[in-house]
Structure 1
Amino acid sequence: MQAFWDSQLKFSEVIPGFAEALDRMARDSDAVAQQCLFTRTAYGDHPRQWVEWTEGTGPNSVLPVIIHGGYWRALEAEAHRFMVPAFLSAGASVANIEYRLMPEVRLADVVADTKTALHKLAEVFPGVRFVLIGHSAGAHLALSATTDDALAARTLGVLSLSGVYDLAPVRLSFLQSELGLTVEEVAEFTLSAHANRPPVLYINGSAETSEYLRGGALMSQSENADWHMITDADHMSLTWAACDQADQLLSKLYSLGNTK
């Protein structure tokens, strides 16, 4: 049983270029840090509880916010700065969120961190509406944050890149030894398709595992959602591919409105 779910979720084995993709993330993000000035502020006492932003060239009314993945237990926001340039024209600033990791904290705490970080950004940028850009576990966190009514009202839409929505397979995979998900956590934090969210564009790559494709296809069935497929992209290369198509993806997201 675990072998099957590992074949769907264990990217270090499923994706031949996984290690190279992580190296590229770090290199590209370092290059962005040399080009963009980031302002950082804390939203809590833990070293990972911070948000940062850099100046964009787009409308003052919109704030793109990047939320990184890592199965809630790995990776860093700083290594996802490479995504920032693609969204500079979408808002007056582009933000990047860091959060605490499991198993030091529970999933409820990671979700709470995401919500608190967005509330901090709402204070820093009064009047703006968020475009949440989450990858993998970051997509799960972006959608989870919209269960907060105030944040949902401030969210123009979500670009959900290869998200983890059904947590039951996670608990059956190699990740369980690290995360220790309980049955109650799986029930509480598994996401389902429904119409009570801001517009969401679910984005997958055609080279992803069937479990990720299933998730995007099912979640996109809500009234204000759609599914976008990027040819030949896998779970990791999808981040760069989505950045290359950022204008197209944003246009498609904005067109969703309240009906499909």
Structure 2
Amino acid sequence: MIDWDDAFDNSTYVPGSDQLADRWGGQAAAYRATAGELDLPYEAGARNRFDLFRPKGAPKGLVVFIHGGYWQMLDKSFWSHFAAGPLSQGWALAIPSYTLAPEARLGQMVSEIAAAVTEAANHVAGPVRMIGHSAGGHLVSRMACSDGPLQDRLDKVVSVSGIHDLRPLLGTKMNDTLHLDAAKAEAQSPVLHPKREGLNATFWVGALERPELIRQTRLIAEKWQCPNVFEPDQDHFSVVEAISRPGSPLLTELLKD
């Protein structure tokens, strides 16, 4: 039998991962102290807020970053410094928080992210790109499905280390918090939905990640017939930091036409 708890256990297999939240939070707070329009509302919930960072001059478009944390941890305040990458290339960046489990079920989170990207797009003209990591990778893939938002403006998503088939989560302790059943897991699994026609999607994962995350990436890339990248020497956490670095392969993929 597959030990699904172990299959999705990213932190144990990355030395020093328990220190990352503090490091990212400190970097984000320092960046946020000098830039950004903070706590803009998109719905009425306590966590229904996003931060918006703009480049100098008129933005080329909007990037929306959706954070991970297995749908039950973290918020927008850990990632502000990621704006340095998109802003260096002339793009604005929005980072929303969303209601987490167990307060919210995944269907509510999907609805909130759709509302967040729609409202953020009201603040910035031009094309919209989405990038998400881990659970956020699932959520941006869900936005790329045929029933996703901004059909006229969302033209590309990059899912980093995403989970695209939720059915294995039914066999994890994590599901004590997520409260998925078979029907909900199927309804919110991007791999079981068609991709929206005309939208570009790329699936990205660190080559040093857990085999299940690599399998999930390959699975949806094959189903949707989209590019997938297995980035050498990157683990589940290091792979996403490249968003903040001008010229990184990940950022280049996100912003290229």
TM-score, length-scaled by structure 1: 0.88
The CA deviation at 1:58 is: 7.3
- The alpha-carbon distance between structure 1 residues 77 and 137, as it changes in their structure 2 partners (threshold 3 A), is same
The CA deviation at 1:253 is: 4.8
Identify which of 131, 134, 152 aligns with 2:129.
131
TM-score, length-scaled by structure 2: 0.89
Summarize the alignment of residues 175-214 of structure 1 with structure 2, pairs less than 5 Å apart.
Answer: 175-192=174-191, 194-196=194-196, 198-214=199-215
AA in 2 matched with 1:228: V
Q: Does the alignment pair 1:158 with 2:157?
A: yes
**Does the aligned pair in 1 maintain the 2:129–2:254 contact within 8 Å?**
no
* Richer in helix (by share): 1
**CA–CA distance in structure 1, aligned partners of residues 230 and 58 of structure 2:** 27
AA in 2 matched with 1:73: Q
- What's the secondary structure of 2:151's corresponding residue? helix
Match of 1:248?
A: 249
- The alpha-carbon distance between structure 1 residues 247 and 206, as it changes in their structure 2 partners (threshold 3 A), is closer
The CA deviation at 1:222 is: 5.4
Match of 1:45?
A: 44
**Does the aligned pair in 2 maintain the 1:68–1:138 contact within 8 Å?**
yes
**Does the aligned pair in 2 maintain the 1:146–1:152 contact within 8 Å?**
no
**CA–CA distance in structure 2, aligned partners of residues 76 and 27 of structure 1:** 14
- State, as a whole percentage, how many aligned pairs show the same letter: 26
Match of 1:168?
A: 167
AA in 1 matched with 2:207: S
The CA deviation at 1:110 is: 0.5
Structure 1 stretch displaced more, 205-214 or 228-237: 228-237
The CA deviation at 1:62 is: 1.2
Q: Kindly provide the CA deviation profile for residues 195-230 of structure 1, in whole angstroms up to 9, marking residues without a partner as x.
A: 535111211111100110011112223566211222
- The alpha-carbon distance between structure 1 residues 241 and 92, as it changes in their structure 2 partners (threshold 3 A), is closer
Identify which of 141, 144, 149 aligns with 2:142.
144
Runs of 4+ in 1 over 6 A off after TM superposition: none
AA in 2 matched with 1:43: Y
**CA–CA distance in structure 2, aligned partners of residues 225 and 34 of structure 1:** 38
**CA–CA distance in structure 1, aligned partners of residues 66 and 49 of structure 2:** 12
Runs of at least 5 residues in structure 2 that lack an aligned partner in the other structure: none
**Does the aligned pair in 1 maintain the 2:114–2:148 contact within 8 Å?**
no
AA in 2 matched with 1:233: Q
Runs of at least 5 residues in structure 1 that lack an aligned partner in the other structure: none
- The alpha-carbon distance between structure 1 residues 94 and 187, as it changes in their structure 2 partners (threshold 3 A), is same
- The alpha-carbon distance between structure 1 residues 153 and 30, as it changes in their structure 2 partners (threshold 3 A), is same
Q: Kindly provide the CA deviation profile for residues 105-130 of structure 1, in whole angstroms up to 9, marking residues without a partner as x.
A: 111110000001111112222x4211
**CA–CA distance in structure 2, aligned partners of residues 231 and 12 of structure 1:** 19
Give the number of equivalent residue pairs: 254
The CA deviation at 1:10 is: 2.0
